[in-house]
């Protein structure tokens, strides 16, 4: 696929990632570990959650630079504008677009959560298939795994566990709203299988050879 189209798809994917994150935050029945820690820090600092996420993601980029140094792929600097874009859009969607959205009961909150999770799986799948830039957290975990000689999956899962522990510690120590709930567990159970299903269907569409124009 033409590079311009891949970049356009990446921007669209990042927009959908931001929208899906805002939907699950608004549903308020539990967030992914990384989003949960961002929301908790937002409650503590009174800084918007998208801005906190932006800071965390850019920190992951600098972490990669420290770990990889000369081996750091220059293309991955695109993670910085991508992090800024996601942070700005999360703030817009959550604090402006969804500001007046009222969920009357738990059932409606659950519907919004599942829609957000499905949209997130689609958007993340597209980012992975388009392969223009990697998410900062995943790229940092990969760099760390390479440096210490272990598997990426172990490091990535460890980060989730630490994020949950830190979130719960902050919640019960500082008496802030609980962001690790049933939605966190549900998301961890269904997100990876959804990625597998969607990527399998997106890959042939994204990587399909460009049709050649017929000349007369």
Q: What are the tens digits of pLDDT across the range 149-189?
A: 999 889 998 999 999 999 999 999 999 999 999 999 999 88
Q: Is residue 212 part of a domain?
A: no
Residue 211, pLDDT score = 47
Q: Is position 211 within any domain?
A: no
- Binned at pLDDT 50, 70 and 90, residue 209 comes out as low
Residue 213 lies in a domain: no
**216 falls within a domain:** no
83, two tokens: 């992090």
Q: Is the pLDDT of residue 215 over 50?
A: no
- Please report which confidence band the pLDDT of residue 214 belongs to, taking 50, 70 and 90 as the band edges: very low
Cβ neighbours, 10 Å, residue 80? 16
Domains in the chain, number = 1
- Taking residues 73-78, report their average pLDDT: 90
Q: Which domain holds residue 18?
A: 3-206
CA nearest to 124, candidates 12, 24, 11, 17? 17
Q: How far is it, in rounded angstroms, from Cα 113 to Cα 55? A: 24
* Percent of the chain with pLDDT strictly greater than 70: 95
What is the overall mean pLDDT for the chain? 91
pTM for this prediction: 0.89
Cα separations in angstroms, 190 against 42, 110, 150, 196, 199: 26, 14, 25, 10, 14
The verdict on residue 215 lying in a domain is: no
């Amino acid at each position: 696929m033409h590079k311009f189209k891949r970049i356009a798809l990446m921007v669209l994917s990042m927009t959908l990632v931001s929208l899906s994150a805002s939907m699950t935050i608004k549903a308020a029945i539990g967030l992914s570990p990384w989003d949960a820690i961002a929301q908790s820090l937002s409650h503590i600092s009174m800084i918007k959650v998208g801005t906190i996420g932006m800071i965390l993601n850019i920190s992951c980029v600098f972490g990669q630079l420290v770990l990889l140094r000369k081996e750091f792929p220059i293309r991955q600097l695109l993670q910085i504008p991508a992090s800024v874009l996601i942070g700005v859009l999360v703030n817009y969607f959550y604090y402006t677009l969804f500001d007046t959205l009222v969920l009357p009961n738990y059932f409606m909150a659950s519907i919004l959560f599942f829609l957000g999770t499905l949209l997130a799986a689609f958007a993340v799948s597209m980012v992975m298939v388009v392969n223009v830039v990697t998410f900062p957290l995943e790229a940092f975990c990969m760099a760390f795994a390479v440096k210490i000689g272990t598997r990426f999956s172990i490091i990535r899962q460890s980060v989730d566990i630490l994020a949950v522990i830190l979130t719960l510690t902050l919640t019960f120590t500082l008496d802030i709203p609980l962001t690790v709930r049933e939605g966190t567990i549900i998301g961890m159970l269904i997100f990876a299988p959804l990625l597998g299903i969607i990527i399998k269907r997106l890959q042939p569409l994204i990587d399909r050879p460009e049709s050649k124009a017929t000349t007369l």
